[in-house]
Structure 1
């Protein structure tokens, strides 16, 4: 395939920079335009000095006019800003593959969007999580093979969805009463200067945010898990208590997830939970879902996920067990929020939409120490 032209809007931010890093060695996708806002007219190297290949690129204004005409446009903009540009692009460049890294086009329910984001819903695009199970027994990658509009999932959502979807679909984990507590690196909050993200505030500290069911990723997680059951995206049975926590690391997510055993969980003749049999069935559910997946790894027995092991990698690491005394399922997921949680799965989805090998230019190995 000949080189395809790519424009990246929001190129000076963390997500845009990670997209560019992965594209820098891509054999088919050729970045020709980088766009920003306050950095217009400056060289990209002033803002992303680690991206040597693109250091001399001059940042252009993020407008539909500048972005039009490229084969692929990647929008790495804050939530609520990509919708307007995307709407213009759809009119001027209907054949362009447009990929939104923000939340503007993820949710199916307009009511859920308006409740959690407080603005007008911009419509729903094809969801960019290739490994996501569907109620019909397929995976989301099938839908991505025939689309020109991709909405990339939230990074927290990716971790929780990968950890729960196979178990909820198999009936091993009840869709109600789910709980997830996540340790998040500060890059997930974006690159804009915020006092609570400075070193003086973050170092030596850990703090929750988006508590009490208010975090914007809640409806997206529930949408995904309702989808694997074939129920209404917003009104299905899934309910999750979701608490992200800011910790002093630059990137990474460690999701600790608990679930009540579902109706299909094995029990003894006396009606007690058969923990050993349940653990075996959990392993089978994960194997059936991910054994052939290049970017999801269920770790060997006794090895638990660590964020440091996924840094720079497009792999999500998963481990699980059964807490027999509490009668709870425990799943732990680690991933790099900027790679597997954003730029990496964006590239996976782009490859599928363009008919390329899904694994092209995506790293399996992490960076250590």
Structure 2
């Protein structure tokens, strides 16, 4: 019998850590090892993640190198800036998968501008569907999971840019549920503030995910790429709907655009181009490791318009982590992951 893969999850009391555990419970090759937290250490996991019934009696341990040592894989679901020190204390025999932002950006100047502090470096980027990242991730020992907005924004426009159908002048408007901001208590995320309300934030190119989207798209385009990104907060718990548009190249039709996307994603298990005329909706991907897409052409404005949806906690974070775990360990990439959403 093949031995189990022991996986520890640091930051297990948060939304991302909880979603990682939910998915790992369904993984046929995984044995869940240590579950750790910061301020919640010492609490039973079930008090904070009551939906994880098989793990409810587990006591959250402190996030220390000693606790995380000895596992095959460590998944870090920690606040930005905390992953580097933890990873440095783990040997190369451990696969470390970081769900935070610490190792996503390759440009130290971009890190300093959008996050501040010292740049920790860049790890292999965990978006298998982008360029040749899948080959990079196979057998990788350190992996940076993409941000949720960059995942859906990148996959929604990359085929058009790669095929030369558009100018490299991209506009992204993406509406997200409140879980994308994490579990920490914040006044603007209270139910009385969010219900019945939609709002824009980080307007004018200031959102931290902007340089990550640019970095991704530069992998499929030879030259500079401009991205204007406006995020919206809408009253739902999870999910992102991104509308991405750009000026069309001469002569490009809606059929050309659809054909380019169909070709780009024909063999991708977790990216689904909907039939012509059917538009993505967030409830279709809730709990699933999938991105649903549609694309068309605005003939009057001469712009390509593509819409993508993702569950920010699944394919946008935890599902990507498990997908990368599978690739790093030489497993079937789809193991333990579902394409079936929960609706309504």
TM bin, normalised by shorter chain, reads over 0.9
Task: Specify which of 119, 127, 130 is matched with residue 129 of structure 1.
Answer: 127
Q: Distance in 1 between matches of 2:186 and 2:171?
A: 29
Equivalence for 2:74 = 73
Q: Is the 8 A contact 2:273 2:292 kept in 1?
A: yes
**1:56 Cα deviation (Å)?**
0.9
Displacement of 1:146: 2.5
**1:1-369 equivalences in 2 (<5 Å):** 1-89=2-90, 93-133=91-131, 139-176=132-169, 178-229=170-221, 231=222, 236-262=223-249, 265-266=250-251, 278-369=253-344
Q: How well do the aligned residues superpose, as a CA RMSD in angstroms?
A: 1.0
SS of 2:253's partner is helix
Write out per-residue CA displacement over residues 274-321 of structure 1, whole angstroms, 9 at most, x where no aligned residue: xxx521221222122101111000000111000111111111000011
- Residue deviations 1:114-139 (CA, integer Å, cap 9, x gap): 11101111011010001002xxxxx3
SS at match of 1:15: helix
SS of the aligned residue for 2:219 comes to: helix
Cα deviation, residue 65, structure 1: 2.2
Counterpart-to-counterpart distance in 2, 1:186 and 1:55 = 25
Please identify runs of 4+ aligned residues in structure 1 that moved more than 6 A: none
Distance 1:253 1:286 in 2: 20
Cross-structure match for 1:136 = none
| TM-score of the superposed pair, with normalisation by structure 1 | 0.91
Paired residue secondary structure (1:284): helix
**1:11-49 CA distances to partner (integer Å, 9 max, x unpaired)?**
000000000000012111111110001111111001000
TM-score in terms of structure 2 length: 0.98
Gaps of 5+ in 2: none
Residue 357 of structure 1 aligns to a residue in which SS?
coil
In the alignment, structure 1 segments of 5+ residues that lack a partner are 134-138, 267-276
Deviations 1:142-171 (A, max 9, x none): 111131000000000001100111111111
Structure 2 residue aligned with 1:269: none
Which whole-Å CA distance do the structure 2 matches of 1:214 and 1:18 have between them? Answer: 28
The alpha-carbon deviation at position 2 of structure 1 amounts to 1.2
Q: Distance in 2 between matches of 1:283 and 1:325?
A: 18
Report the 3-state secondary structure (helix = DSSP H, G, I; strand = E; otherwise coil) of the residue aligned with 2:32.
Answer: strand
Number of equivalenced pairs: 343
